[in-house]
């Protein structure tokens, strides 16, 4: 009997509690419910008391600390403009310019290698090393440009240039130095500059035009070095000047 009375009392208290809760909901103030200690939280839910700390830390962290998946602004940009890729073939004039530029570059590189191997004077070898470094760098840029424009470049000098290199390879020492300046000195560089000036003004593709224009200052510097080398090796009098390398500041014959 006592057990029945205790159960009845418990039921009455529970009903009263529910009634009070219903009144609170009706008045717009839902009762506070304490979380159960055995509740299962999501793996992404931080422990109690740590959510605010994590948000504060995220605000103070740098973008790299907040997540490597968010790239920093400007990370994809480079110092050189990337040529626009196209599936169509370049204009005939642009293709011819790129081919001629590639031939000239190969001619300079192969000639410089011979000079480093067969040359005698330090001045010639120093000039040759500069030509080798600069023209190999230019060749890489030209290859990137040609690939973007769907054009295959020649991978060696022209037939005439190969003939000059073959003849150059028969010389050694002082004779080689003179022949090297004769073949790859001021005259050759004036011709290359003329080629690039035409490309920088008459090329159809803006990327081809921009590359030619960007390369010209280096080529003009090469011409100055070639003229200085010719003067130091052959003197200032016309008698000793190389056949294919006019004296410094000489004007072209009309």
pTM: 0.62
Q: What is the pLDDT of residues 99-152, one digit of tens each?
A: 999 999 999 999 999 999 999 999 999 999 999 999 999 999 999 999 999 999
Select from 189, 162, 192, 168 the least CA-distant residue to 180.
Answer: 168
* Residue 173 DSSP SS3: helix
Q: What angle do CA 132, 90, 203 make, to 5 degrees?
A: 70
The pLDDT score that the predictor gives to residue 80 is 54
How far apart are the C-alpha atoms of 186 and 248, rounded to whole Å?
A: 9
For residues 111 and 176, is the Cβ–Cβ distance under 8 A? no
Q: Residues 90-93: contacts with CB within 8 Å, 24+ apart?
A: 90/149, 90/150, 90/151, 90/204, 90/205, 90/208, 91/204, 91/205, 93/202, 93/203, 93/204
How far apart are the C-alpha atoms of 97 and 102, rounded to whole Å?
A: 9
Per the listing, tokens 């001619």 go with: 107
Report H helices in the chain. 2-26, 51-60, 63-66, 92-118, 122-148, 159-168, 173-184, 186-202, 206-234
Domains belonging to the chain, first-starting first, are 95-232 (1.20.1260.10)
How far apart are the C-alpha atoms of 127 and 226, rounded to whole Å?
A: 8
Select from 217, 103, 82 the least CA-distant residue to 149.
Answer: 82
The pLDDT score that the predictor gives to residue 233 is 87
CB 143: neighbour CB atoms within 10 A? 15
Per the listing, tokens 């030619």 go with: 212
How far apart are the C-alpha atoms of 132 and 116, rounded to whole Å?
A: 10
Question: Which pair of tokens denotes residue 252?
Answer: 């072209």
For residues 162 and 109, is the Cβ–Cβ distance under 8 A? no
Backbone angles phi, psi at 145, to 5 degrees: -65, -50
The pLDDT score that the predictor gives to residue 88 is 83
The pLDDT score that the predictor gives to residue 158 is 97
Segment-wise mean pLDDT, segments of 10 residues, the chain, 254 residues:
46 46 44 41 45 47 39 36 78 97 98 97 97 97 96 97 97 96 97 97 96 97 98 66 42 40
């Amino acid at each position: 009997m006592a057990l029945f009375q205790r159960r009845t009392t418990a039921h009455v208290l529970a009903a009263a509690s529910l009634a009070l809760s219903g009144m609170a909901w009706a008045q717009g103030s839902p009762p506070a419910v304490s979380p159960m200690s055995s509740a299962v939280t999501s793996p992404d839910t931080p422990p109690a008391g740590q959510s605010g700390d994590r948000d504060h830390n995220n605000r103070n962290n740098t973008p790299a600390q907040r997540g490597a998946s968010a790239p920093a602004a400007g990370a994809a940009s480079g110092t050189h403009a990337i040529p626009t890729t196209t599936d169509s073939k370049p204009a005939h004039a642009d293709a011819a310019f790129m081919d001629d530029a590639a031939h000239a570059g190969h001619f300079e590189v192969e000639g410089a290698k011979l000079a480093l191997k067969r040359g005698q004077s330090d001045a010639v070898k120093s000039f040759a090393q500069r030509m080798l470094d600069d023209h190999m760098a230019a060749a890489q840029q030209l290859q990137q440009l040609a690939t973007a424009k769907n054009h295959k470049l020649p991978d060696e000098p022209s037939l005439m240039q190969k003939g000059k290199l073959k003849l150059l390879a028969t010389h050694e020492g002082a004779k080689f130095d003179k022949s090297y300046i004769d073949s790859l000195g001021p005259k050759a560089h004036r011709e290359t500059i003329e080629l690039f000036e035409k490309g920088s003004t008459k090329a159809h593709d803006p990327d081809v035009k921009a590359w030619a224009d960007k390369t010209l200052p280096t080529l003009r510097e090469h011409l100055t070095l070639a003229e200085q080398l010719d003067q130091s090796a052959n003197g200032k009098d016309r008698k000793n000047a190389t056949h294919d390398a006019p004296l410094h500041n000489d004007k072209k014959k009309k």
